[in-house]
Structure 1
């Protein structure tokens, strides 16, 4: 199975939190081929070959069931990551870049309003709104 480029030339480097590096390094050292372009997730049955989408879907289904989230889609990981990125203060331009989006309306999906975020921002207004 041949890997293909992402759609619309959206290949890019994305920074990850430093706390994830040890786990990622362990996974790559344990499971990935030494070549930089080798598979990162191997087939259980055929060493050195990329896992099929069907097999991956089965493992994902088992993992989400074990986690008590039977309807959590794999793409929801991307949505969760971009939503948390926005909650940390990412601008619309930041979200467009990180998500590889070209349409602003797509990036806006990740800027969910939340009661907690509203309270945090409102609290910051105390520093700039002064009534004497």
Structure 2
């Protein structure tokens, strides 16, 4: 499928342009996911260079009504509940932020034209907050060593 298009009318499955210019982008994915993505495309995706990556069980384009059934079945098979498809976008952006991506990186990756939109998806985790605090402590210790020769042990 052309990466510069999106599902415009989910009820009918029609394609249209992205909502904004920022939405016209290519997004890199981790190399570790490529074997799984390749297997998915070979097994489940629509044929052809412009085929859809996700289709219904009988090969039809996904629409709102049949997508909900497919998503619910996938969650059940994975023994998960309470997840919405859009939660994947939140998770991806949160993980990208935790990897050290800047706000501009996140905006570009997510196709946002404003910081407000990008920040909606940027969540934090207590583990990341602890790592930031630890790194700040190391920087402070280093700065204090440079200011006070007694702290440096020399």
TM-score range, shorter chain: 0.7 to 0.9
Which of 55, 58, 63 is the matching residue for 1:52?
63
Which of 33, 36, 43 is the matching residue for 1:30?
43
Unpaired runs of 5+ in structure 1?
Answer: none
**Structure 1 length normalisation: TM-score?**
0.83
**Structure 2 length normalisation: TM-score?**
0.73
Q: Is the 8 A contact 1:44 1:51 kept in 2?
A: no
Instruction: Name the structure, 1 or 2, with higher relative contact order (CA <8 Å, separation 6+).
Output: 2
Shift of 1:56: 1.4
Moved more, 81-90 or 35-44: 35-44
Aligned pair count reads 130
Shift of 1:116: 1.3
Q: Residues 117, 39 of structure 1: CA spacing in aligned structure 2 closer, same or farther, 3 A cutoff? A: closer
Unpaired runs of 5+ in structure 2?
Answer: 1-12, 145-150
Shift of 1:75: 0.5
Q: State the structure with more CA Rg.
A: 2
Identify, as 1 or 2, the structure richer in strand.
Answer: 2
Matched, 1:11 2:24: yes
Q: How does 1:111-126 map to 2 (within 5 A)?
A: 111-126=122-137
